[in-house]
Amino acid sequence: MQNNVLILDFGSQYTQLIARRVRELNIFCEIKPYNKVPQDMSVYKAVILSGSPYSVRAEDAPHPDLSQIKGKIPLLGVCYGAQYLAHFHGGKVAPSNTREYGRARLASIKNDEPFFYEITDGSQVWMSHSDTIKELPKNAVVLASTGDVKNAAYRIDGEQTYAIQFHPEVYHTTQGKLILENFLVHIAGIEQSWTPDAFVDTTVAGLKKTVGNDKVILGLSGGVDSTVAAVLLHKAIGNHLHCIFVNNGLLRKNEFQDVLDQYEHMGLNVKGVDASARFLDALAGESDPEKKRKIIGKVFIDVFNDEAHMVEDAKWLAQGTIYPDVIESVSVTGGPSATIKSHHNVGGLPDYMKLKVVEPLKMLFKDEVRRVGASMKIDDERLGRHPFPGPGLAIRILGDITREKVAILQEVDSIFINGLREWGLYDQVWQAGAMLLPVHSVGVMGDERTYEKCVALRAVESTDGMTADWVDLPYEFLQKTSNEIINKVPGVNRVVYDISSKPPATIEWE
């Protein structure tokens, strides 16, 4: 990639938002842990320091080596980053006497500075810190203040080093994107050339160079990520790509055949493998969510190992891993961030499987994957398909997995998803599904008392899955769907709707 921006992550909950805002400017960026600064900085045109849950005054505060960056490459410190640049370069950071969290208004803006070009006095910003910069380094110039924060923005004389105590990446900073554009485009001089078409050209060229004439096996799921990955690889290596769609017994109703039918006319070399009994037998009696994911991952690898032996001289396993998978599975900071859950398609392969891994989408967010797919003329219906978890219904059945439970949830899910389509709601929802809960509740049907299962419906809106909010579906739709599920799915007598957001909840229940 050319015109890269490096974001050094200190563990802030907003770091991924910085990356998204930069990419919205058609500028490529990547996140690295603060303690793993790349030795070769020549590929980076600018660096951004993120916020952090830490105080710069703490003994264990994140302390990166900026010797190859500060004063040499355009640098922007955000929140903790701004305090870091002050505290360790002659300024003073102290606990704040006033609450500095939430909305604030910029004042005394130096509009003649390129950093605040076209930013207006009174512009709303979002503060989120308990410390404040009391004194700036001697060679620093204040660029803006707020009612409570004198040094809300500053720069260092003789350097292209800027710092702000607010968060330009969040929605509540109304001109935040323009501030980032001013820094990256007008100060750092970065071209806004990272587009879906450019990504396709660069990635295809990279795949040709990396893979060459080797054969690649790709696990198709029917979802957006694996489909886009397959088309990218097909552009690069043609029929050297061998796609395999595995039925793990945990797919949606009729999905195995439906997906195979969809790919029939795409020109891809696709083989369907029904390994449902193998997965379900391995899962029998296991109710721990992480162990279920690990079992599915292991069986998935075993199945691919068997299939790989049928493809002579296969050298690579391709996966549709995307950026949120990587971020949620591995602490990007090497410390402050927590691992939320493991993803079945993230990580290395066992030693016995002699395949190297290729992940053409691992630096993209979900909405970026869709835009790349659209640039390659993949049809809207396939690109608009809701995300579906790799472990399938296994993580939507809380508790142990049985064939009976899978069959019940498939029927419930089918009613819910088809209903969303019939009511014109499907495209208004980012992801939807049903969960089978490990509880029974008392009900009554006719004159008979029932003691049957409860299901939860979940529908969320999001852009990349990093954050999500529940969708306010029409009561009439929920009423009709609930009635249809209870009347048509034996064993279910209660339906609830999940109205929790991410965070604090996750999109899936396991």
Residues across the chain: 510
Q: Which amino acid is at 164?
A: I
Catalytic residue selected from 167, 234, 240, 242: 167
167 flagged as catalytic: yes
Q: Which amino acid is at 221?
A: S
Helix (H, G, I), strand (E, B) or coil at 241: strand
User: Which residues does 274 contact at the CB level (< 8 Å), separation at least 6?
Assistant: 247, 256
Helix (H, G, I), strand (E, B) or coil at 413: helix
| 245-265 per-residue burial string, b: 16 or more CB within 10 A, e: under 16 | bbbbbbbbbebbeebbebbee
In 3D, which of 359, 259, 237, 241 has the Cα closest to residue 311? 241
**Exposed, middle or buried by CB within 10 Å (0-12, 13-18, 19+), for 380?**
exposed
H or E element, residue 179:
helix 176-181
User: Which residues does 90 contact at the CB level (< 8 Å), separation at least 6?
Assistant: 137, 138
H or E element, residue 439:
strand 431-445
Q: Cα(401)–Cα(278) distance, rounded to whole angstroms?
A: 13
Strands (E), 87-208: 92-105, 124-135, 140-144, 153-156, 161-164
Catalytic residue selected from 100, 169, 255, 411: 169
Instruction: Say if residues 315 and 353 touch (Cβ distance below 8 Å).
Output: no
Instruction: Say if residues 131 and 83 touch (Cβ distance below 8 Å).
Output: yes
Helix (H, G, I), strand (E, B) or coil at 382: helix
Instruction: Say if residues 149 and 100 touch (Cβ distance below 8 Å).
Output: yes
Catalytic residue selected from 29, 79, 307, 343: 79
169 flagged as catalytic: yes
In 3D, which of 487, 489, 506, 477 has the Cα closest to residue 497? 477
Catalytic residue ranges: 79, 167, 169
